[in-house]
Amino acid sequence: MSTETKGIHNPIPEAARTLQSDNGYYGRFGGSFIPEILVPAFEEITKHFEAVRYDEAFWHEYCALLANYSGRPTPLTFADRLTAHFGRARIYVKREDLNHTGAHKLNNALGQALLAKRMGKTRLIAETGAGQHGVATATVAAKLGMSATIYMGREDMERQYANVFWMKRLGAEVIGVEYGSQTLKDAINETLRDWVSSFETTHYVLGTASGAHPFPALVAFFQSIIGIETKEQILQASGRLPSRVYACVGGGSNALGAFQAFHAHDEVQLIGVEAGGRGQASGSHASRIAYGEGTPGVAQGYKTLFLQNQDGQMRDTYSIAAGLDYVGVSPILADLAERGRVRFEAAADEEVVQALQLVMKLEGLIPALESTHAFAGAFKHIEETTASDLIIVNMSGRGDKDIFNVAEGLRDEEWNAFIERKHGQYKK
């Protein structure tokens, strides 16, 4: 086989390298607030990341594996029926759902696993909330012959048992975290605790573009492939750049992945859509920026806008989409928001369920509930656009994993009856 990777440039496209920090800071956000004992581990990663960032052979190996294992480049689909429905901007959908394991998560897990190999590591550890990042990490560990330990809050394991099942079947060890709220933030603490005593052999595969420097830059680098492809594809399809690019924002990795290639083009509006949950008034949401409720703080190794109370206690967050349910946000996005380069919106659960039904019925696409926030954000302001505009929605993942939540959200009686029958079978 030729060593050329289909549709992907070699050397490293400029967009993969554009985000430069000032000593790990993006404006007033970012930085590195880590225990002394982990300083050598972070220094080692920073050194190797700086090397691979400019290493064409590494980028090539990464792109080739993505092409031949994960199915990249993913298509950019023209949503003709959605476009006709609204009668405004032409709507295109970037199909990250078609990656192996069903979302953009694999881009990052694979890149970091290759980096870990370069550093001579044999074991991967990761935190996971909804379990998607855990599944991606377990998958690449199997593929690259490494061992994996995944930390997950007990509460999250209960909520997302299907992903626990797959991680174990893929050969990973899954450790339930039994303290605190038994969710993502406790899993992060436990992963760091493991790393303190294991970093000689072990790499911590952080799942989103947050955490201490250099993780935000590292994860954004590996996700930049999304925007690099998208830009090439939209130019090929329409001969011009889009007016707007929409992406949902949990920690911020798929959004940064989609945005970076357009960052230098001021005429392209970049819009991040957060989880509006049950609405701002309810207090039950995970919108740090759009609702203006996130305030600067230092936690989990970095400085960003967190949803916290006046004593700096992290608030409980909520979203119908487990992957958006996070108290912090990428320091890179917090800075881009502050500088007005990225605009933030929130989509409430109700709007998301509406948008999902529209996308399914008109396009035959089933976006993940996370990704559906990006669609909902785009639909909400479609009236501002005209037929000469182009909109791109980054569909970060596929929604079949959400069948339990969606069926519940749609109050599907036939599904409930099916679950009861199944339950009856197991009791026998």
Ligand X SMILES: *Cc1c(COP(=O)(O)O)cnc(C)c1O
Question: In the complex, what is the shortest distance from the CB of residue 332 to ligand X, in angstroms, rounded to a whole number?
Answer: 11
Catalytic residue among 32, 224, 330, 396: 396
User: Which residues are at the interface with ligand X (CB under 6 A)?
Assistant: 103, 105, 132, 208, 248-255, 323-324, 368, 370-371, 396-397
SS3 per-residue string spanning 33-67: CCCHHHHHHHHHHHHHHHHHHCCHHHHHHHHHHHH
Which residue's Cβ lies closest to ligand X? 397
- Helices assigned H by DSSP within 239-392: 253-259, 331-338, 349-363, 369-380
Residue 243 · residue 269 · CB < 8 Å: yes
- Closer residue to ligand X (CB): 233 or 396: 396
- Closer residue to ligand X (CB): 346 or 368: 368
- Closer residue to ligand X (CB): 249 or 393: 249
- Closer residue to ligand X (CB): 88 or 276: 276
Q: Is 127 a residue of the active site?
A: yes
Catalytic residue among 94, 96, 127, 345: 127
Across 56-146, where does the E strand assignment appear? 76-78, 90-95, 123-128
Give the C-alpha separation, 114 to 65, whole Å.
10
Question: In the complex, what is the shortest distance from the CB of residue 392 to ligand X, in angstroms, rounded to a whole number?
Answer: 16
Question: In the complex, what is the shortest distance from the CB of residue 368 to ligand X, in angstroms, rounded to a whole number?
Answer: 4
Dmax (CA) for the chain in angstroms is: 63
Question: In the complex, what is the shortest distance from the CB of residue 156 to ligand X, in angstroms, rounded to a whole number?
Answer: 13
Catalytic residue among 105, 121, 185, 303: 105
Give the C-alpha separation, 391 to 387, whole Å.
10
Q: Is 105 a residue of the active site?
A: yes
- Closer residue to ligand X (CB): 5 or 230: 230
Residue 362 · residue 81 · CB < 8 Å: yes
Question: In the complex, what is the shortest distance from the CB of residue 272 to ligand X, in angstroms, rounded to a whole number?
Answer: 9
| 343 closest CA partner among 410, 246, 426, 256 | 246
Q: Is the dihedral of CA 40, 45, 46, 52 positive or negative?
A: positive
So which residues are the catalytic ones? 105, 127, 396
